[in-house]
Amino acid sequence: MRWEQVYLAGTGVWLADRAEAARAVADGAYDADEHAVNQIHSVSSATAGGADDLAAPEMAVRAARTALRRAGRAAERVGTVFHSYLWFQGAELWPGAAYVAQHTVGSSVPAFDLLQQCNAGLAGLELAARQLGAGRPGGDEAVLLTTADRFTPPAFDRWRAERGMVYGDGGTALVLSASAEGAAARLLATATRVDNSLEGLARGAGFRSGPELAARPVDLAARAEEYFRAERNLRTATVRTAEVAAESIRVALADAGTPMERIDRVVLNATGRQRMRWQLEHQLGLEEKVSNWEFCREVGHLGAGDHFAGLNELLETGEVGEGDRVLLVGGGTGYSCTSAVVEITDASGWYA
């Protein structure tokens, strides 16, 4: 969908201190072969009892405060909050979005938890653009989107939960506004495509009677293998996920009036190097140097926050400037993929 008068008014990120992958290999926590393939250098890892010992929603609040400060007057017009995550937020049966809203934009702003796994950040961006209503009377003038996760052992083993990536802790935020005033970028288009028949890839072959939080660490690779054994459709599932992503990318670029040759930078899910190179070369036809790989290998996979964090990094480091166009490509179990095209308008206020 092509968007008119939708702007990125502010971004923010909070990340924990780094845990080195080589040290994890030496300690037996991380598989040496996985390390060689992924080439991850470090991940953001909150330490219990340390200075970065925060619950995930507290990380989101810190990131949101940065985004709101950068958003200027748009921060005063936030009418909705969307908070996204993958993992435990610090309490059971509790809406983390309400906490984020209370500690950033106030107690009377509607706040909703949005769960679409690793695609939730970009899926939320599209929902927020709809929420703004393109200037409709009574519509929101600004929306605050946040993501946060803290992947804590023993229930979650960041180094072994999934092949091809390592999970990192952190919060991210983005303020979407109907006003161009002070904005860093303009949202040109988004496109979401899904195939719900692929939900079993993350579920496995059956259901469980209760959460596995205390029983054993989550093993997403084992669930996928279980699903493939039961359904016997490994090739079909692999092809379909690629097709869904390709269609999302194609439509977003077309609606933005932007050929791939016009894309200056691309922000993808923070996977290991082998998986990211495959997507860059076979799906996008782009070189690694235009991707967010160097940032990904330092912080790891931030759950739903990879894209907000990756875009924030480009803005803070001055790697994008006025007129540059950035393609963001999501993807989350379920299976869903949201792609977005943004054009940088004025990033001067973001330089670190």
With cut-offs at 50, 70 and 90, classify the pLDDT of residue 213: low
3-state secondary structure of 20: strand
pLDDT at 34: 95
- Predicted confidence (pLDDT) at residue 54 exceeds the cutoff of 60: yes
With cut-offs at 50, 70 and 90, classify the pLDDT of residue 348: confident
pLDDT at 339: 98
pLDDT at 189: 98
With cut-offs at 50, 70 and 90, classify the pLDDT of residue 4: very high
User: Which position has the higher pLDDT, 217 or 187?
Assistant: 187
Alpha carbon distance 99, 96 (integer Å): 5
Range from 117-121, 203-207, 261-265, 333-337 carrying the lowest mean pLDDT: 203-207
pLDDT at 231: 63
Q: Which of 125, 169, 129, 145 is nearest to 83 (CA)?
A: 145
Enumerate domains of the chain plus CATH numbers.
7-183 (3.40.47.10), 187-346 (3.40.47.10)
pTM: 0.93
Q: Which of 37, 307, 296, 55 is nearest to 167 (CA)?
A: 296
pLDDT at 223: 73
Alpha carbon distance 230, 137 (integer Å): 51
pLDDT at 241: 82
Q: What is the pLDDT of residues 114-154, one digit of tens each?
A: 999 999 999 999 999 999 964 555 557 999 999 999 998 88
pLDDT at 171: 98
3-state secondary structure of 183: coil
With cut-offs at 50, 70 and 90, classify the pLDDT of residue 69: very high
pLDDT at 137: 55
Phi, psi angle pair for 285, to nearest 5°: 65, 35
What average pLDDT does range 332-339 have in this prediction?
Answer: 91
Alpha carbon distance 52, 175 (integer Å): 24
DSSP strands (E only) in the chain? 7-15, 18-20, 42-44, 78-84, 111-114, 142-149, 170-177, 185-194, 265-268, 325-329, 336-344
pLDDT at 219: 74
Burial of 76 (0-12, 13-18, 19+ CB in 10 A): exposed
